């Protein structure tokens, strides 16, 4: 007898029932989708109160890159460079402010959130270049953010997980790059290869049509989908990457590629912890004030980062 298809937990079902219905992404314009995501972020609740939160700029290859720097204390234990999700095109510093505040508070580290250039106005590889540039400058103490000499990790959710996975691949071997935290990451452009795309293609907060629309906004015509800068899962050589923590949601089209990436990392000799959060949907990590599973996942991620910064 075949295993039953996973379903949302009661807690997740109740939360989603309270949210106003939204059209799938292809039914709205980019700007309408951006405003809808920003409105929905109001349900995430207040973030942790921190010692300092300030906006700044980092000098990237294409010009100044806006960042937001979160410090829980004057002397943080490390630096976490964070890339927000939202399908590359929709999220921003405000939609992920609560998560960044909470990670800074839980880990005791500074968080540098990157406001990377977005499609369709600035298509691939603009976002990759911005995230890689910020990580590299932080690692080399050239970001001028007052965070020199500290161990550095990267983190991102969904599309942001894609971007920081690319950054970790390109900057592998740097002695101060100690960890990568990938939260429900988008790592591949081939949905037909992942059963979770078939299992949760519709009826969830992230659908297959949504993901296809995101890729259409992000990628220019004739791009090579196997390029590791597009699909970090397709990188042929994963040796030498920093240890990873990968968190997936059971009821998410992106679940299988995230878990398969953990397997490939281990095969390449890279320590990789993966945690599947049962009964959860794609964006659950943003609801730390509403979902016990999100709080548990954040605590798990924070513990892994604390260990990485202490080693």
Number of H helices, E strands in the chain: 9, 8
Is 3 a known active-site residue? no
Report yes or no: 166 and 235 within 8 Å, Cβ to Cβ.
no
Nearest one of 1, 182, 218 to 90, comparing CA atoms:
218
- Active-site residue among 96, 129, 179, 282? 282
Active-site position among 130, 133, 252, 256: 252
Q: Does 158 qualify as catalytic in the annotation?
A: yes
Buried b (16+ CB within 10 A) or exposed e, 114-125: bbbbbbeebbbb
Nearest CA-CA partner of 185 in 235, 245, 134, 131: 245
Question: Radius of gyration over alpha carbons of the chain, in Å?
Answer: 18
Q: What angle do CA 148, 79, 242 make, to 5 degrees?
A: 110
Catalytic residue among 158, 196, 231, 256: 158
Non-local (6+) Cβ contacts of 288 within 8 A are 44, 45, 98, 99, 102, 294, 295, 298
83 and 114 Cβ atoms separated by less than 8 Å? yes
For the chain, give the number of residues: 311
Q: How far apart are CA 295 and CA 172, in angstroms?
A: 30
Q: How many CB atoms lie within 10 A of CB 220?
A: 10
- The per-residue DSSP string of 272-292 comes to EEEEEETT--TTGGG-TTT-H
Answer yes or no: 96 catalytic.
Answer: no
β-strands 177-183, 244-249: how paired? parallel
Catalytic residue numbers?
Answer: 158, 252, 282
């Amino acid at each position: 007898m075949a295993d039953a298809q996973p379903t949302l937990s009661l807690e997740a079902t109740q939360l989603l029932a309270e949210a106003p219905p939204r059209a799938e992404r292809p039914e709205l314009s980019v700007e309408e989708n951006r405003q809808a995501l920003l409105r929905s972020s109001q349900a995430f609740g207040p973030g942790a109160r921190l010692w300092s939160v300030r906006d700044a700029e980092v000098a990237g290859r294409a010009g100044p890159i806006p960042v937001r720097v979160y410090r829980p204390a004057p002397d943080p234990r490390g630096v976490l460079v964070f890339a927000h999700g939202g399908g590359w095109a929709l999220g921003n510093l405000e939609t992920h402010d609560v998560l960044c505040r909470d990670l800074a508070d839980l880990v005791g580290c500074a968080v540098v959130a990157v406001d990377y250039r977005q499609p369709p106005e600035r298509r691939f590889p603009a976002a990759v270049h911005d995230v890689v540039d910020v990580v590299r400058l932080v690692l080399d103490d050239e970001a001028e953010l007052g965070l020199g000499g500290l161990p550095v990790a990267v983190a991102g959710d969904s599309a942001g997980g894609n971007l920081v996975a690319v950054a970790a691949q390109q900057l592998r071997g740097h002695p101060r790059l100690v960890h990568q935290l990938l939260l429900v990451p988008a790592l591949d452009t081939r949905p037909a290869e992942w059963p979770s795309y078939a299992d949760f293609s519709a009826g969830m907060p992230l659908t297959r049509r949504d993901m296809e629309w995101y890729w259409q906004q992000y990628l220019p015509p004739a791009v090579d989908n196997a390029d590791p800068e597009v699909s970090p899962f397709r990188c042929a050589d994963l040796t030498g990457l920093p240890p990873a923590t990968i968190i997936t949601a059971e009821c998410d089209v992106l679940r299988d590629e995230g878990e398969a990436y953990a397997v490939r990392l281990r095969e390449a000799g890279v320590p990789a912890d993966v945690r599947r959060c049962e009964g959860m949907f794609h964006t659950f990590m943003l609801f730390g004030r509403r979902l016990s599973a999100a709080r548990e996942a954040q605590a798990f991620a924070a513990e892994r980062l604390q260990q990485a910064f202490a080693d």
